[in-house]
Structure 1
Amino acid sequence: MTKYIIRISFLLFSFAFAKAQELPPVVNYLPSIYDADNQNWMLTQGPEKTIYVANNRGLLAFNGAQWDLYPSPNRTILRGVKAVSDKVYTGAYMDFGVWEKDVYGVLQYTSIVTSLKIEMIEDEHIWNIESYGQYVLFQSLNRIYIYDTVGNQIQMITPDKQITRLFLVDDDLLFQVKGEGLYTIQKGQPILFSADPVLFQERLINLFRIDGELIGITANNGFYTIDKQQVVPWDVLSNESIKEYTIYSALQRKNKSIVLGTIENGIVQLSKEGTFQYQIKQGNGLNNNTALALLEDKDENLWIGLDAGIDCINSQSPFHQYIDVSGELGTIYASAIVNGYLYLGTNQGLFYKPEASQSDFIRMPGTEGQVWSLRVIDGVLFCGHNNGTYLIEGIKPQLIATIEGTWDIKKIPGYDNFLLQGNYDGLYVLEYINSGWRVRNKIKNFVNSSKHFEIIDGNRILVNHEYKGVFEIKVDPMYKDAEEVFKHTSINIGEHSSLSRLDETVFYANKEGVFIYNPEKQGFVFNEKLSIIFNDDIFVTGKLVEDQDKLWTFTKDNLISIESDKLDGDYSVKKISIPISLRNTVEGYESFVNIRENEYLLGTSNGYIIVNTSEDENEIQDYKINLKTVAVHSLGSEPQLVSYNDKIELSSRDNNISFSYSVPEYDKFHTTEYSYLLEGLYDVWSPWTTNSSIHFDNLPHNSYTFKAKARVAGEETSNEIQYSFSIERPWYLSNLSIVLYVILTILLFILLNWFYKRYYKKQQDRALERTKKDMELKALESEKQIVELNNANLKQDIDARNRELAVSTMNMVNKNKTLNAIKNALLKAEKIEDINKIVSLVDKTIENEEDWNFFEEAFNHADKDFFRKVKEKHPTLTANDLKLCVYLRLNMSSKEIAPLLNISSRSVEIKRYRLRKKLDLSRDVNLNDYFINL
């Protein structure tokens, strides 16, 4: 009955403990991350801290940055793996062997079974592998194969019955045979250690040595102390409750504590005395409740091979997490430890529990709703709440101010019975009177929300409003009226900005940096040194958390402390790596409270994180960066791995090269970043990035040295990796090509010279031709000018002839007129004979052909072709007709023509008519126009 009560009590205790635990961080690796099967049967760690996992699909290798899967050679499940020096031994179905890295950094498998021609038992499967000196032992259910790595020989232990498990305890090799007991291996031979009936019935999962005793954990019946004489239950309180679990794996850690992997309840850690420490399972950390394999690595991380995934518990982390699995707490905005109670102020109300208890948190009745702050003033806990202000006494709340929205509460210097609180609508004064606190008054003439405020002297208050700025208020000595209010213009408005105090100095922080209030200038001064905090790391919040002798603030990847040097007054800055993605805090409302020496509680949206800030806990190990692979490829081809041990020379086509590297760091809260430099291409290091590989395309021919370095949690690794390589000149830049280029260049110059000469010859010929043509043109121009001159002379001659013709015509006309007049006068004379002589002479003169011939000659000079044209066109015309034609061409009237022909005007008209008939012209054609246009 007593055992039953103990068992039930422990189970209830364990259940409560499992719900309200502050657990180390757990890193989850889902199958989708490592890209292999769900089940993971065994784990080991290599000399470079690489983790190797026996997975259903093959051998998994994880270097902290990349997962690689090496399929099982015979495509069967790997259940055993063991790293020994630079080799990895694995066991599978009907095969076991060794993996070694080739010159490319890739694991290559050699089957020991095949190379030594070992005949395995039908359907035999290797389940466990242990290393012992120069020997590696492969255990199946039927045999233990002892492989001599030096002599490359195999020795076998083949019991009559099934082997349940092979164990290595310190320097002792033991194995259990079902129905026979526990054996040791000495000089390659099995020797019975214990044949106790308990060992016939119970299957041992693992063996440990604690204080000189051999302790065994069984699958279903707890712990036993084992010696050669007897096997008895281990006398520890946890033993009875452990029997309720089905144990599949177990491990003794370096500090002698024990970890049990269960089938249905995750993992349980016990102290070396067997007391319960913590339990992690699905829901509060693990991917899955079935722990198939356990491994403690060189950094004391606990690795768990699960039925669905792989988890890593950072046991030595300075962080421990309380995960609110139920979601009842909500987001934590404030916390405090007072009089043995841990209080959490959340958006769901005020919760509490005894500080040392692992029980669940309880919500304090009457405090439902948003809690903004928890302040301990002179040992009294005040709660700033959306409902107002509460005074907390133990587990009882007292609402002392019903003014909506209390942000914060602070003491007023010089007034022990006064407190100043900031509310949604301004500032209020609380007064202690009649053994209790009450609201005395609101400070008049100031109505801005007062989330952050600081009292800077007896009657001056600074208030920060994120969206309006920082105000300075001068109040009267009794803190009733705001006598003066002005806004500081030396600083800008900033979202998530805050005011805080360190010693007597007031700080303001926003995205632009950190500013310090200068009382003499009554303004804020930019502090360059502290502002680097936000320059070096991406700004998240300007919230500055007060903590006795330091301030805390938060950046993208770090938690940062600011401390003042007591001697020189300068400020020192320290960083603790805790990325924002893991903090889960509300920006601008971060809560970070000192609860114990070097321990702080950071409120999150799903619980809280306990942060140990001691330097020992946060010391960064000496991590090293390792080069994983180097691959090259030409355009359009698949990457090909190359040796990373020697300097290589690549062809000009293979001028695309990639590098992958890693730091074997597995801490959840540590961010690993990398920087690289390719000498021969760049002169400066690249910015820090989390990418663990880099690819260079189309590199020109040159000699290069690739360098990479890393930093973990802001601290650089102690080493850099280097890899030298060169890229050959392309064929078109080879020595032969250059000689050919020189020859071709010379030939080209010769050819160009020939072409230039030919060109210039042609140009010269063209110039001569142009000159010749120009001269010919000039000659033609000259001839033209001569012709024009001749024409001008001819024109002048024609004009002269025309003048002569006109003069002749006029002379003829005048002469005939005169002669006719004389003739007429003489006819009237008396002596007929004399008169007749004179008349005959006049007639002879009138009819003188010489005048006409002279006229005709003059006319021909003036109009050479007229007679020819008229005669050709009208050959029947007589000489008198031609005369009339000439006079008509001269556009003379009948009256003007009559004297010339020595006839009357009427006779001229008759002649004109007859001429028209001969010319066969119609009456509508003007004779003058006809001859003028002919």
Structure 2
Amino acid sequence: MITQDSQQFIYFANNEGLLEFNGANFTLYPSPNETIIRSAKSIGDRIYTGCYMEFGYWKRQSNGILKYYSLSKNLKHKILDDEQIWNIIDFDQWVVFQSLNQIFLFDTKTSKFKIIKPKSAISRAFKTNEGIYYQTYGEGLFEIENGTGKLISGDALLMKNKIVNIFSRNGKLLIQTQFNGFLELSNGIISKWNTDADADLSNTSIYSSQQLSDGGFALGSVSNGIFIISKEGKLIYHITQNKGLSNNTALSIFEDFDKNLWIGLDNGINCINLNSPVRTFSDDTGILGTVYTSILHDGKLYVGTNQGLFYKTYNSNEDFKFVNGTKGQVWTLFSNDNTLFCGHDSGTFVINGNVSQHIFANSGTWKLEKVPGHPELLMQGNYFGLSILENKNGNWAFRNKISGFDYSSKYFEITKSLEVYVSHEYKGVFRFQLDKNLTKTDKFQTYKNPSKGKNASLTQFNDNIYYSYKEGIFKLNKKTKQFEKEETLSDVFKKDDYTSGKLMVDNSNRLWFFTKNYINYFSFGKLSSQLKHNIVPIPSSLTNSMLGYENITQISNSIYLIGTTDGYYTLNIDELKFNKYKISMSTISINKVNETLRSASIKGHSDFKFADNNITFSYTVPEFNKYINAEYQYLLEGSQDIWSEWSTKPTINFKNLPAGDYTFKVRGKIGNELSENVASYSFTILKPWYRTNLAVLIYVIILCICAYFINRAYKNYYHQQKEKLIEENNRLLEIKELETEQELMKIKNQQLEQDFESKNRELAASTMNLIKKNEFLSMIKDDLKKNSEEGNKNIKSVITTINKNISEEDTWNIFKDAFNNADKDFLKKVKNLHSSLTPNDLRLCAYLRLNLSSKEIAPLLNISVRSVEIKRYRLRKKMDLAHEESLVEYILSI
């Protein structure tokens, strides 16, 4: 069974449970006892279901999810073994649950049951405006009155035929049988209602049926698809698997609020848009192929495809027929003075009914156009330039090729001044002037702006030439001969993704083109010359057109044919009206990072923990038309100030929302019609625990305590600093006293040094005096020796006296005493460092300490200079000095 609730959501009794479809998503609710749900019925705010030995109802919770409540749990002793609930009917305050053995009547006001137990098995129960009926095998048709079954007909026809459904018609009961068509019951008399569809229904097993809102009937068969019959009994449609059904066995039929027909199949679900402005012709055989062009000519519909040219009588159910000789790709169909031309990969044909005449074969033909001022001529765009066709005595023939331009001319336009504009996808836009005879052009200009573009196109609309590619739509300025961007038209590409620049103009002066999500057309208003933008919300994914080869043909004032890769579909723009829909929240889910989603209430105001700041909103507009997609736009107040872009996605996720108050708003759009309402939901992301008022109070208390201890610590610190400062001041005073003492010591040392230097100078002076004295005495001695006569005792006595005065030992003792006074402990230090030194070596060290030269030392030692040098050499050896080390510098450093 199939049913629909007040929100227009559709529900299906399914093998796995209760299946819900809200227009955007399917949701499966598993059956309460893991058995097949056989029946479902929406009544009020409840969805009643029946399955194996169980029945009850589902009710939507605050989080938008259905919850099951059992009604049969208190009737377990009255439910038969293996009993299943096959049908549910509502009538006034009663809900009727029907199995094959008994009927349970549930009073929704008192929540009490009544049970009807027929003598034999029940085939099915039915509801009309007058009452509730049921058929039992071998007994006839019963009506429920006062909680019991009353036989109203035991006619043999009813005994032999299984009743599929019962309807009210003209005060009579119209009974739909399985194999015998319709019967009428009036005043207890059964009669046959003969219809025009009886022949089509013969030998067909009808399993399900539904009376439609227009009074007609939809019949579901076993293995023979769906029959749609008018209220007069005329067959309107017979829809089978080769016409779109998933399979040919229809177990249930349901008409929704929008008059769509839902089919519960043996395996699967189909929805038939009976009142859709779109009608589809699908060529599942592959014979027809991709439709590139079409035209209605002399009551025949011609379609040009990649397989050739086909035709059939318009509005007939006959198959398409092939026009002989047109095998190959047909690019264009053009009617001129009741003559039909076919632009083909092989050239140009004139078509008369089902006969083709090949009038041009030099090159493939893209397009044909009338030549202004020359009704007898046609210009055609070919693979290798442009050429002219001429009408002579009623026969069209090739006249000439236009020389000077040899590029492929898929899109071209010619002005009244015989100026030609050509769009080449890979080379850009060209302009050139034809001569009066339309035979040649001297030169052509290539436009740098606008540039070339994929799937670009060029057309003439309202006496203006337009060029379209991915950067926008450009209009030719007739004065400057330059293309200028037409902002009004180009804005369409900003609002929707570009797929193709193909521009088409119909007989009603409408400019058509295709984008990713829409079919667009511009028309002039009745009261103004402003262009009005109209959209048909059919996305390219459903139109299935060949990109760059989109085509739309006006068949009548309101009906247009649009070619696809596997046939075509027609669009009636007068019937393109959109109902007012309400948008609703379906679910709201929250989760922590890297955790599973949890459902939240979709009603009222909600508070969410800060950790649950990832929120997913799901919403829907219950629109079930195959070719029309709902679009959504949302706004999150508290986070953003403007509405989002329109999107077909029925969910949005907000991650890591900061704490604060928010209101989520969402609205829908079907075509140009906004939803009746804006669904809104207010919620608050609570502050994290560390930002709550209690936490702030604790922070204040902790801050006060910290401030107290910090203040105390600062007081202690400054007290310590004060004491430390006093100590430092005392220490500084002590240091200053020490510095003063050091200064005094320094002065004393300086005085000592001065005294030492003075003594050194005195020692040096005395030493020099000794040296000079000894030298003087030596000179006297030498002179006396030279002048004395041998044996002169007086002179010898003087010489002896002189020798005593220049005695080395006496001189050294005097010097030693003076040297020790000037350089205390030097000789001891030297002796400690070099214990092997003799007194003579120490004497030499003392003389070297005074920085005396060898010449100055020789008289003091009463030896020659050469002997001093030898002594210095021996002293170096004893001190073990390196060759490069100075003896004097070493002694001075001790």
TM-score (normalizing by structure 1): 0.86
Is 1:198 aligned with 2:165?
no
What is residue 544 of structure 2 aligned with on the other side? 584
| Cα shift at 1:324 | 0.7
**Which of 691, 696, 700 in structure 2 is aligned with 1:742?**
700
CA pair 854-515 structure 1, distance change in 2 beyond 3 A: same
1:66 aligns to 2:58 (yes or no): no
- Return the offset for 1:355: 1.4
**Deviation of 1:450 (Å):** 0.5
How do 1:515-594 residues align onto structure 2 when only pairs under 5 Å count? 515-548=474-507, 549-565=509-525, 568-594=528-554
| Contact 1:136–1:146 (Cα < 8 Å) also in 2 | yes
Q: Tell me how far apart the structure 1 counterparts of residues 732 and 608 of structure 2 sit (CA, whole Å).
A: 64
Which among 137, 141, 151 is matched to residue 110 of structure 2? 151
- Measured after TM superposition, the shift of residue 646 of structure 1 is 3.0
Match of 2:87 among 128, 147, 153: 128
The answer to whether the 8 A contact 2:224-2:248 is kept is yes
The residue type equivalent to 1:716 in the other structure is: L
Closer/same/farther in 2, CA of residues 393 and 814 from structure 1, 3 Å limit:
same
Say if 2:778 is the partner of 1:820: no
My pick for the range that moved more, 188-197 or 387-396, is 188-197
| Residue 724 in structure 1 maps to residue 685 in structure 2 | no
- Residue 811 of structure 1 pairs with residue 772 of structure 2: yes
Instruction: Give the AA of the match of 2:558.
Output: N
The CA RMSD over aligned residues, in Å, is: 3.8
Name the SS for the 1:482 alignment partner. coil
Matches within 5 A, 1:849-864: 854-861=814-821, 864=824
Please list, as runs of the form range in 1=range in 2, the aligned pairs for 1:173-184 lying within 5 A after superposition.
173-184=132-143
Q: Equivalents in 1 of 2:239, 2:741: separation in Å? A: 117
Matches of 2:155 and 2:329 in 1, distance apart? 63
In structure 1, what residue type is equivalent to 2:501? G
Q: CA deviation at 1:238?
A: 2.0
* Cα shift readout 1:551-596 (whole Å, capped 9, x = no counterpart): 1111112111111346643211111111111101011111110112
2:199 counterpart residue number: 240
Letter in 1 for 2:68: Y
Counterparts of 1:306-345 in structure 2, within 5 Å, are 306-345=265-304
AA at the equivalent of 2:35: T
The answer to whether the 8 Å contact 1:216/1:224 transfers is: yes
d(CA) in 2 for partners of 1:377 and 1:605?
28
Deviations 1:58-101 (A, max 9, x none): 22222112222222222222212111111122222222222222
Matched, 1:295 2:249: no
Q: Is the 8 A contact 1:541 1:554 kept in 2?
A: yes
Among 557, 561, 567, the alignment partner of 1:601 is 561
| Counterparts in 2 of 1:316 and 1:930: CA distance versus 1, 3 Å | closer
- State the 1:506 CA deviation: 1.6
SS in 2 for 1:747: helix
Of residues 327, 330, 340, the one that matches 1:368 is 327
Amino acid at match of 1:321: T
Match of 2:239 among 259, 268, 280: 280
Among all aligned residue pairs of Structure 1 and Structure 2, give the percentage whose two residues are the same amino acid. Answer: 39
Q: 2:584 aligns with which of 626, 638, 659?
A: 626
For the 8 Å contact 1:291–1:306, the answer to whether it is kept is yes
Cα distance, 1:236 vs structure 2:
2.1
Query: Is this contact kept in 2: 1:897–1:905, CA < 8 A?
Result: no
**What whole-Å deviation, never above 9, does each CA across 1:766-789 have from its counterpart, x for those lacking one?**
994996898699679858965874
Deviation at 1:626, TM superposition (A): 1.3
SS at the partner of 2:296? strand
Query: In the alignment, is residue 800 of structure 1 matched against residue 758 of structure 2?
Result: no
Q: Is 1:425 equivalent to 2:389 in the alignment? A: no
In structure 2, runs of 5+ residues without a counterpart are none
- Answer 1 or 2: higher relative contact order, Cα 8 Å, separation at least 6: 1
1:547 CA drift (Å): 0.7
2:774 touches 2:806 (CA, 8 Å); kept in 1? Answer: no
Distance in 2 between residues matched to 1:801 and 1:96, nearest whole Å? 138
In structure 2, the CA distance between the partners of 1:372 and 1:874, relative to structure 1 (3 Å rule), is closer
Q: Which letter does structure 1 place at the counterpart of 2:520?
A: I
Q: 1-side partners of 2:838 and 2:376: how far apart?
A: 159
Alpha-carbon shift at residue 931 of structure 1 (Å) = 14
Q: Structure 1 176/754 Cα, relative in aligned 2: closer, same or farther at 3 Å?
A: same
Secondary structure of the corresponding residue to residue 739 of structure 1: helix
Runs of 5+ in structure 1 lacking a partner? 1-41
User: CA 1:276/1:746 → structure 2, altered by over 3 Å: closer, same or farther?
Assistant: same
CA distance in 1, matches of 2:835, 2:631: 123
CA shift in 2, pair 1:236/1:806, >3 Å: same
One-letter amino acid of the counterpart of residue 408, structure 1: K
Decide whether aligned partners of structure 1 residues 880 and 410 sit closer, same or farther in structure 2, where only a CA change above 3 A counts.
closer
- Corresponding residue SS for 2:705: helix
The farther-off stretch of 119-128 and 558-567 is 558-567
Q: Distance in 1 between matches of 2:662 and 2:640?
A: 10
Partner of 1:474: 433
TM-score by length of 2: 0.90
Task: Give yes or no for contact 2:834–2:878 (8 Å, CA) kept in 1.
Answer: no
Counterpart of 2:701 in 1: which secondary structure?
A: helix
CA change 1:771–1:201 in 2 (3 A) is farther
What is the aligned counterpart of 2:604 among 646, 669, 684?
A: 646
Counterpart of 1:709? 667
Q: Which amino acid in the other structure matches residue 504 of structure 1?
A: D
Cα offset, 1:643, TM superposition: 3.3
Partner of 1:382: 341
Stretch moving more, 292-301 or 835-844: 835-844
The aligned amino acid for 1:801 is E
* Segment drifting more, 781-790 vs 99-108: 781-790
Matched-pair contact (CA < 8 Å) for 1:890–1:932: no
C-alpha separation in 1, matches of 2:857 and 2:602? 129
Q: Which amino acid aligns with 1:607?
A: G
Change (3 A) 1:794 1:154: same
**Aligned pairs for 1:98-117 within 5 A:** 98-115=57-74
Would you say the 8 A contact 1:81–1:129 is kept in 2? yes
Q: Secondary structure at the match of 2:242?
A: coil
- What secondary structure sits across from 1:166 in the alignment? strand
Report the secondary structure of 2:690's partner residue. helix
Partner of 1:459: 418
Q: 3-state DSSP class of the match of 2:580? A: coil
Query: C-alpha separation between the residues in 2 aligned to 1:56 and 1:626?
Result: 28
Cα drift, residue 163 of structure 1: 1.8
* Distance in 2 of aligned mates of 1:921 and 1:182: 147
- Which residue does 1:660 correspond to in 2? 618
The structure-2 alpha-carbon separation of the partners of 1:210 and 1:376, relative to structure 1 and needing over 3 Å to count, comes to: farther
Q: Pick from 351, 354, 361: which aligns with 2:310?
A: 351
State the distance in 2 between where 1:885 and 1:545 align: 124
Sort the Cα spacing of 1:164 and 1:822 in 2 relative to 1 into closer, same or farther, 3 A.
closer
**Matched residue type, 1:724:** S
- In the alignment, is the contact (CA less than 8 A) between 1:888 and 1:931 conserved in 2? no
1:47 corresponding residue in structure 2: 6
One-letter code aligned to 1:456:
T
Change (3 A) 1:285 1:812: same
Aligned to 1:252: 211
Aligned-pair CA distance for 1:188: 3.3
CA distance in 1: counterparts of 2:190 and 2:838, whole angstroms: 175
Tell me the CA shift for residue 456 of structure 1: 1.6
**Structure 1 residue 129: Cα displacement:** 1.5
Structure 2 equivalent of residue 227 of structure 1: 186
Distance 1:517 1:358 in 2: 45
Comparing 420-429 with 821-830, which one deviates more in the overlay?
A: 821-830
Q: Tell me, in whole angstroms, the C-alpha distance in 2 between the residues paired with 1:79 and 1:825.
A: 164
Q: Work out the CA distance in 1 between the residues paired with 2:692 and 2:557.
A: 71
